[in-house]
Amino acid sequence: MTERPSVGLMGGTFDPIHVGHLAIAEEARDALGLDRIVFVPAGQPPHKASGAVTAAEHRVAMVELAIAGNDAFELSRIEVERPGPSYTVDTVEALAAGADLTVILSVETFAELPAWHEPERLLAAARVAVVPREGYPAPDPAWLSATFPGREDHVTYLEGPRLGLSSTALRARVAAGRSIRYLVPDAVEAYIVANHLYRRTAAT
């Protein structure tokens, strides 16, 4: 019987993807002994209005550029090709069919998990790795036990990295004409410039 691969799932709008995303993915891969990390750009996030995020074609292209050269990183278009809102649980169940899946979440996103679409289904299908972030409190184990009783062993807490970057701040820097060099991969910076992304007059 062939052993199932262990796969980490990094979801998000990636608007744009930055070095923090890449460092988190590599830390999770290394700390948890994962075979590979799958980056899943969101299609239409259900919590964001249509048009509030950059066109999927640009976000996918930036992820492809960012992960090129790392054989342990790959891209999935499952959410951008799925019509309607993108629910993580649907993606998790689809990808978990052939792998032992770990969903990688920042600590502030993990705190919002009870408000997600069918979070119990997600925890039944996959493990969760929680990444710390500066300015946000560490998860309370008592909260996890009270909110998702019996699922405590499905959650792992990582120690780092603590880079404090955000895509929102990077978009604001571009809009203000400020440098994002060393905050995103060089190829992603070049793509943003070439496609006039995040400028105040840019059409996305």
Q: Are 47 and 82 in contact (CB under 8 A)?
A: no
Q: In this model, does residue 202 exceed pLDDT 60? A: no
Give me the number of domains the chain comprises.
1
In this structure, what CATH number is given to the domain that contains residue 64?
Answer: 3.40.50.620
Distance CA 125, CA 178 (A): 42
> Is residue 180 domain-resident?
no
* Predicted confidence band of residue 106 (pLDDT cuts 50, 70, 90): very high
> Is residue 195 domain-resident?
no
> Is residue 73 domain-resident?
yes
pTM of the model: 0.92
* Predicted confidence band of residue 46 (pLDDT cuts 50, 70, 90): low
Domain enclosing residue 69, as ranges? 6-162
> Is residue 138 domain-resident?
yes
> Is residue 104 domain-resident?
yes
Q: Are 130 and 110 in contact (CB under 8 A)?
A: yes
> Is residue 183 domain-resident?
no
Following CA atoms 49, 55, 60, 63 in sequence, which dihedral angle do they give, to the nearest 10 degrees?
-80
> Is residue 178 domain-resident?
no
